[in-house]
Amino acid sequence: MKLTFLKGLFVGSLVGGTIGLLKTPRSGKQNREAFKDYIDETTILVEDVSNKVNDLKGAITQLSNESQSFATTFTKEMNETAQAFTYEAEPRLRRIQEQTEKLTTDINDLNQAVSSDA
């Protein structure tokens, strides 16, 4: 869509400039010089836009490469952190499980003792 717009802008500028030059009260030589100047100026502007578009494409490519590199590094570091956390938390979780089982056993024993006394 942008390319179509740029083509339309260029063609419209060219046609408008040509009609304007043909309808002016200047002499043929003056019109040719003005037309040549107009074409030269338009060519410079088109080249400038083309260079800026190429610069933008390069910047987008660089940004894409950097973001992919960042995502890869981030994912790797997060996986390492998760593995380290799991490794460090495993003994704690095991102790919590053992304490829970011990408490459950003690409560059951206490319930049996209370039932026996009653």
**More confident position, 26 or 101:** 101
User: Is 32's pLDDT higher than 90?
Assistant: no
Total residue length of the chain: 118
User: Is 21's pLDDT higher than 70?
Assistant: no
User: Is 118's pLDDT higher than 70?
Assistant: no
Q: Where are the domains of the chain?
A: 2-90
- The pTM score is 0.46
Q: Cα–Cα distance between 64 and 48 in angstroms, integer?
A: 24
pLDDT band at 78 (very low <50, low <70, confident <90, very high): very high
Cα 40 off chain centre by = 38
- CA-nearest of 10, 23, 11 to 31 is 23
Q: Which residue has the tokens 């933008």?
A: 56
* CB-neighbour burial class of residue 46 (10 A; exposed 0-12, middle 13-18, buried 19+): middle
Tell me what pLDDT residue 45 has: 93
Mean of pLDDT values over 29-55:
90
